[in-house]
A and B are shown apart, each in its own frame.
Chain A
Amino acid sequence: MPAPIPPLRITAHTATSAAGRGRAALLDALCARRTGLSRNDFGAAPLDCFIGRVAGLEDAPLPAEFANWECRNNRLAWLGLQADGFIDAARAARAHYGADRVALVLGTSTSSIGASEEAYRTLDADGNYPEHLRRPIVHQPHSLGDFVAAALGLDGPSVTVATACSSSAKVFAQAERLIRNGLADAAVVGGVDTLCDSVLYGFNSLGLVSPEPCRPFDPERRGISIGEAAGFALLEQRGAPARGDAPWLLGYGESSDAHHMSSPHPEGLGARRALEDALARANLAGDAIDYVNLHGTASQKNDEVEALVVSTMFPTTTRASSTKGWTGHTLGAAGIVEAVVSLLAIEHGFMPGTLNARTLDAACGPQILLDNEQREVRRAASNSFGFGGNNCVLLFGAPGTA
């Protein structure tokens, strides 16, 4: 078991998804049980499904100084940075610690592959990219990290984590290690993923896309709804100048399933291991966790396995839910979006239920919530599991829990 870690303060955080721009809009959608999912209208010949699309990206080009990074994914990153004054908090951290002492660790699954898809639709007569898309930086995975480093003026460690749907949860773990080793004093973490043909047609080819809005943990669930999102958090050490009553990153756990590329371990062994490591790093037992934001994609296998893990790893007093019915599965951004949902639960004494599910699968224990519930949340967990059997669990605590 890993040793306990010194908790980190989360001094700023934000999420932008189909459920709204910034924390207040997301909280409002969660409380009102208003989904951000809509019928798929993405691309030339949309598949018959539902998506979580962020409105207005088409009309929000990057400022001219960032034109080299222009693409849908970096537009969403830029929009996400503006929400909740996050960009100001990050720049204040840069001014306080120095540009090379604030690490940048961001997660994405497909980064700006949408720009490469566009280039392939419009190749020139010689089979090369059209001139306006011959910008190497947007045709590789670190497009996201490189753009955000430029936007925030950071020049310390800057890296993009791409472990599919656990990407922007694992960034918290990597940043914690960098800070504990003295490689940075603070870190901007987060993730951005945008709608693109690769994921819409790709998940469809695997038979994982639902023709209706996703219904996590419903016995009649038919698969996932894909969404797009951006989210960020600022991590600082205990001794940092307090900016209000900041919540804590208490622990994290990472593991591999060692089972299958696109299907979870049938007994959820990897998920259990990640949760056990997260609890050990936080020096807590499962009964200390009030709320768990589940991966809950609404795929047959994920929800079946995750329900089993929750029912055996947490007492009946713990509550758990999937919020994919609001945002869709935002893939590489799911970790940060659901970290923000978990922090909202702590800050507002509010547990979202599981939107769109009508009843709960027989595999679900009493932990899994259908309806929203008002209740104090002192500590929350967030699950993120990705292709390749890549798992990450994060633990957060209210001010005063560390």
Chain B
Amino acid sequence: MSGSAYVDGIALWSPRLAGWQAAAPILRGEAPPHEPQPRPAPALLAPTERRRAPDTVAIALEVASAACAAADADPKSLPSVFACTHGDLAITDYMCRTLAGNPAEISPTKFHNSVHNAAVGYWTIGTGCMEPSTALSAFDYTFGQGLLEALSQVGADDKRVLFSAYDIEAVGAMRSVTTSRGLLGGALVLAPARGARSTAQLSWQVVRSGDTPAAEPMPAGVDEAVADNPIAASLPLFRALARGAGRASVALSPAQSLLLEVSACR
């Protein structure tokens, strides 16, 4: 149960790690998290839709676009795996609140934006991509299971794959059961073979959870900036990518983890 893929594009976005260029030195411990930046407004959407797009759509499209740009990949050509633990918690709050009070007033737009695959739907519409696309969730293991499916697609179909993972802040009564806070998204363009844009090789192995190295603490300030978001599970991998080499593990279930070895393409 092992394999390898090449990383052609990397993207990360959170208000205090806004974009890979800013985030990489922060993850290496060379700079503290910067002042919070406003939510991105994805250029893919029509100007009228940018401002009112749900947070999940804004963040998922931001990192997906940035990863494709870094990979010099035409988004039309990439199958995509979008992973999100909770879906759009603000829309869930709206739906449940409205259904409890005035169900007949449900907004049709909010309803079709409430599907878990709304972000990847907007992505394929915005980029004109007719390749397969999927939307996954696996509670605490969402980042790991999403990455595993992206790696599985790379291996099965011998094609480059876009992987985007994101979660947003719980609002309203959802906060009584959901600890997700802040905005965090990460994306990778993964390739089966080394190409002109490949920056790292990612060797992976599924191991029993006990067989993973102890987690190394994050640089000062990083946990405070993003730790309460489920996609923080991605940070050890993004740190290894920022360093250009190293090991990281991502949990797949209570019993299994994905052990990842990053080595630079020189």
Report whether over half of chain A's contact residues are helix, strand or loop; otherwise say mixed: mixed
Task: Count A-side interface residues using an 8 Å CB cutoff.
Answer: 73
In this assembly, does B14 line the interface, its C-beta being within 8 Å of a C-beta of chain A? no
- Interface footprint category on B: 35 or more
Asked, given contacts A161-B136, A163-B135, A258-B129, whether A202 binds B114 with beta carbons under 8 Å apart, the answer is yes
The residue of chain B having its C-beta at the shortest distance from the C-beta of A145 within the complex is B138
Question: Which residues in window 158-211 of A have CB below 8 A to B?
Answer: 158-164, 170, 173-174, 176-178, 180-183, 197-198, 201-207
In this assembly, does A401 line the interface, its C-beta being within 8 Å of a C-beta of chain B? no
The residue of chain A having its C-beta at the shortest distance from the C-beta of B119 within the complex is A388
Interface centre among A157, A162, A198, A256 (most CB of B within 10 A): A256
Docked Cα-Cα span, A2 to B153, in Å, equals: 12
In contact, B122 and A273 (Cβ under 8 angstroms): no
Chain B residues contacting A121 (CB-CB under 8 Å) are 100
In contact, B125 and A259 (Cβ under 8 angstroms): yes
In contact, A260 and B125 (Cβ under 8 angstroms): yes
Shortest B214–chain A CB gap in Å is 22
In this assembly, does B36 line the interface, its C-beta being within 8 Å of a C-beta of chain A? no
Interface centre among A2, A128, A142, A386 (most CB of B within 10 A): A142
Chain A residues contacting B100 (CB-CB under 8 Å) are 117, 120-121
In this assembly, does A141 line the interface, its C-beta being within 8 Å of a C-beta of chain B? yes
In contact, B173 and A163 (Cβ under 8 angstroms): no
Chain A residues contacting B92 (CB-CB under 8 Å) are 113, 116
How many residue pairs link A and B with beta carbons under 8 A? The number is 225
Chain B residues contacting A163 (CB-CB under 8 Å) are 115-117, 120, 133-135
In contact, B130 and A269 (Cβ under 8 angstroms): yes
Docked Cα-Cα span, A254 to B157, in Å, equals: 12
In contact, A256 and B173 (Cβ under 8 angstroms): no
Chain B residues contacting A129 (CB-CB under 8 Å) are 173, 176-177
In contact, A140 and B178 (Cβ under 8 angstroms): yes
In contact, B157 and A2 (Cβ under 8 angstroms): yes
Asked, given contacts A123-B173, A387-B121, whether A142 binds B138 with beta carbons under 8 Å apart, the answer is yes
The residue of chain A having its C-beta at the shortest distance from the C-beta of B255 within the complex is A155
1/0 contact trace for A105-148 toward B, CB 8 Å? 00001000100110111010001110001111101111001100
Chain A residues contacting B137 (CB-CB under 8 Å) are 140-142, 145, 159-160, 162
In this assembly, does A40 line the interface, its C-beta being within 8 Å of a C-beta of chain B? no
Shortest A196–chain B CB gap in Å is 9
The residue of chain A having its C-beta at the shortest distance from the C-beta of B256 within the complex is A100
Interface CB pairs A-B, < 8 A, 29: A100-B255, A120-B99, A121-B100, A134-B177, A141-B137, A155-B253, A158-B141, A162-B136, A164-B116, A177-B153, A177-B157, A181-B156, A182-B1, A183-B1, A183-B206, A198-B111, A202-B114, A205-B108, A255-B132, A256-B131, A259-B125, A262-B108, A262-B112, A270-B130, A386-B115, A387-B112, A387-B117, A388-B118, A389-B125
* Closest CB pairs A-B (n = 3): A388-B121, A162-B116, A254-B132
